[in-house]
Every structure is written in structure tokens, then in C-alpha cells.
């Protein structure tokens, strides 16, 4: 599998990189099908927004051209892009002359059981809460210890994902997915103003659902609303949509709107 640093094959980076020292950077996990990048513009848009908010001097046109060339070499799989603030001396102050480092790693397509998509999955209720930090909310940055702690909570393969709430008890997302619920025909997804990652598939689903005449709403949602939902599903850029059918002793059916939305994404996801 190919690995590039700054546009050239390389698999080692200096210990002085600020991505290592402070998690001072961003990443994207990008589905590549037959050399074609799914949701390229959405990935670049989120990356650009993250770079703006972290004041990373990132050349997005360069990232785009490197991504396109890398996807051609990878062919079929997952391209993971890490962007850091590059090398730094000791100390938190961002260097005035920072040069962002771009790291691209190829991986095989994820091998999730087909049953996750067809029959739905069970959620582990994570005890790890997401801290509320509006300055970082929505970004796919490199400070991901909360996800590491949450994912380490369960080994039971019967749970394919975990449910994460914020420290105030609002329902936010999965460990590596965004969350949607359906109530009375309306499609709801948690606000990511305080924490959480604004997934590219979440954004795409909101747009395609609205275009198909589905009412959509982003807002604060609590556990009671989750349990009262008619349908619940997760999404991310790799697997598309997984229906959620169980959390502890609660059960949801694989719903009609969930199936319809899966059907609207067939161009983006491996069958």
C-alpha cells in the first residue's frame, strides 16, 4: 500500500513534527473506488475549514492534486490524509514560518460484515463522554484520545459501534460515525456546535434527504429522544449507512427512511 509524505513516497517523519508533539493537525479518511475519490469536495471543504480555524497555512490546491494522484496509484481502498503544522521547536507557539506536512497512507477497503448494512448493528453505550470545546467542535483534528478511550471500552464484536454523549448528556455521535434518528418522518441529527466530528457523509445525507423531500433538522438531542425515535442509523464515509437496532435492552426496527437513504447513496458506497 502506498505511503507519501509531501507528495513523494516516504514512510518516516521527523520526531519534531507538531502532529506528534501536540496533535497539531487534521485528518481525513477518504474512500477511493477505482481511482475515483468519493465526496472529494466535501473532504477538501472540511479540511479547509479546519485549517482556517487552526490557522494552518495549508495549500488546498496542492492537497487536491496530491490526493488525485494518490488515488490513481491506490486504485481501490481507503486513503488516509494527515495534515500537520510541520516541524517545530519545543513550545506551543505556532512557528511563524510553518510548512504544513501532508501524509497520505493507503489501506485496503474496510471489510465490514455485510449484515451491518442489511440487518443493522448494536451500539455499546460508551461511558466516555465528549468534552465540550466549541473551538474544536466539528473538526477532524488529531486530538482523539476521547475516541481511543471510548473504543477501548468494549471488545464484544456483537457491538459494531459505540454511542457517545457529551458531558451534559446530549447524544452526539458514534466513535467513528455520525448519528441520525427519524421521528414522525423527520430526519434529525445532533448539533456539533460543542463537540463531535462533522462527517462528510452526514453532510451529504442531509443534502440528499432534503432533495428527496425529507424534512431535516440539526439540534440538541437527548437520550430520551433517541429512545423514542422511530428509526436510528449511523453513517460514515466508508460504509455509508448502518441501521441501529439495539442499545442495551432497547430495540429499533430497520426503518423505511433508513432503507430509502441507503438507496440514495449507492453511488458512494461499495455494495
List of residues contacting a second copy (CB under 8 A)? 3, 5, 11-24, 27, 29, 54-55, 78, 80, 82, 84-85, 89-94, 103, 105, 107, 110, 128-129, 131-133, 135-136, 141-152, 167, 175-176, 195
C-beta of 27: minimal distance to a second copy in Å? 7
Neighbour-count burial of 132, counting CB atoms closer than 10 A to its CB (0-12 exposed, 13-18 middle, 19+ buried): middle
Which position among 66, 140, 204, 258 bears the catalytic label? 140
The residue among 105 and 258 lying less far from a second copy, judged by its C-beta, is 105
Contact call for residues 44 and 32 (beta carbons, < 8 A) = no
C-beta of 98: minimal distance to a second copy in Å? 11
C-beta of 120: minimal distance to a second copy in Å? 21
C-beta of 40: minimal distance to a second copy in Å? 19
* DSSP notation for 52-67: HHHT----HHHHHHHH
In angstroms and rounded to an integer, the radius of gyration of the C-alpha atoms of the chain is: 19
Active site residue 29: yes
Contact call for residues 164 and 126 (beta carbons, < 8 A) = yes
Active site residue 140: yes
Closest CA to 192 of 259, 149, 141, 240: 141
The residue among 13 and 265 lying less far from a second copy, judged by its C-beta, is 13
Q: Is 197 left (phi over 0), alpha (psi -120 to 50) or beta?
A: beta
Which position among 28, 66, 173, 231 bears the catalytic label? 173
Which position among 29, 84, 189, 258 bears the catalytic label? 29
C-beta of 17: minimal distance to a second copy in Å? 7
Residue 77 makes CB contacts below 8 A (sequence gap 6+) with: 1, 32, 106, 107, 108, 109
**Secondary structure class of 145 (helix, strand, coil):** helix
Length of the chain: 271
C-beta of 94: minimal distance to a second copy in Å? 5
Closest CA to 154 of 121, 180, 110, 132: 121
- Distance, in Å, from the CA atom of 226 to the CA atom of 228, rounded to the nearest integer, reads 5
Cβ atoms < 10 Å from Cβ of 248: 11
The residue among 65 and 167 lying less far from a second copy, judged by its C-beta, is 167
The residue among 116 and 144 lying less far from a second copy, judged by its C-beta, is 144
The residue among 42 and 140 lying less far from a second copy, judged by its C-beta, is 140
Contact call for residues 151 and 179 (beta carbons, < 8 A) = no
The residue among 3 and 227 lying less far from a second copy, judged by its C-beta, is 3
- Distance, in Å, from the CA atom of 166 to the CA atom of 133, rounded to the nearest integer, reads 10
* Active site members: 29, 140, 173
Amino acid at each position: 500500500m502506498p505511503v507519501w509524505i509531501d507528495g513523494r513516497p516516504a514512510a518516516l517523519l521527523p520526531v519534531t513534527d507538531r502532529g506528534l508533539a501536540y496533535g497539531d493537525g487534521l485528518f481525513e479518511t477518504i474512500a477511493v473506488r477505482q481511482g475515483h475519490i468519493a465526496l472529494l469536495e466535501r473532504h477538501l471543504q472540511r479540511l479547509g475549514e479546519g485549517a482556517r480555524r487552526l490557522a494552518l497555512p495549508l495549500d488546498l490546491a496542492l492537497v487536491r492534486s496530491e490526493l488525485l494522484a494518490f488515488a490513481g496509484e491506490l486504485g481501490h481502498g481507503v486513503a488516509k490524509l494527515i495534515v500537520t503544522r510541520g516541524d517545530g521547536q519545543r513550545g506551543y507557539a505556532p512557528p511563524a514560518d510553518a510548512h504544513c506536512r501532508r501524509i497520505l497512507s493507503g489501506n485496503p477497503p474496510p471489510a465490514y460484515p455485510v449484515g451491518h448494512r442489511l440487518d443493522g448493528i448494536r451500539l455499546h453505550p460508551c461511558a466516555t463522554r465528549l468534552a465540550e470545546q466549541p473551538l474544536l467542535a466539528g473538526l477532524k483534528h488529531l486530538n482523539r484520545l476521547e475516541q481511543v478511550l471510548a473504543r477501548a471500552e468494549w471488545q464484544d464484536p456483537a457491538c459494531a459501534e459505540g454511542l457517545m454523549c457529551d458531558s451534559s448528556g446530549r447524544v452526539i455521535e458514534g466513535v467513528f460515525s455520525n448519528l441520525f434518528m427519524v421521528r414522525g418522518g423527520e430526519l434529525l441529527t445532533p448539533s456539533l456546535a460543542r463537540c463531535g466530528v462533522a462527517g462528510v457523509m452526514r453532510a451529504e445525507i442531509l443534502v440528499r434527504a432534503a432533495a428527496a423531500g425529507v424534512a431535516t433538522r440539526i439540534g440538541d438531542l437527548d437520550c430520551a429522544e433517541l429512545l423514542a425515535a422511530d428509526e436510528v442509523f449511523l453513517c460514515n464515509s466508508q460504509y455509508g449507512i448502518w441501521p441501529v437496532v439495539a442499545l442495551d435492552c432497547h430495540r429499533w426496527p430497520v426503518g423505511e427512511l433508513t432503507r430509502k437513504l441507503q438507496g440514495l447513496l449507492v453511488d458512494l458506497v461499495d455494495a
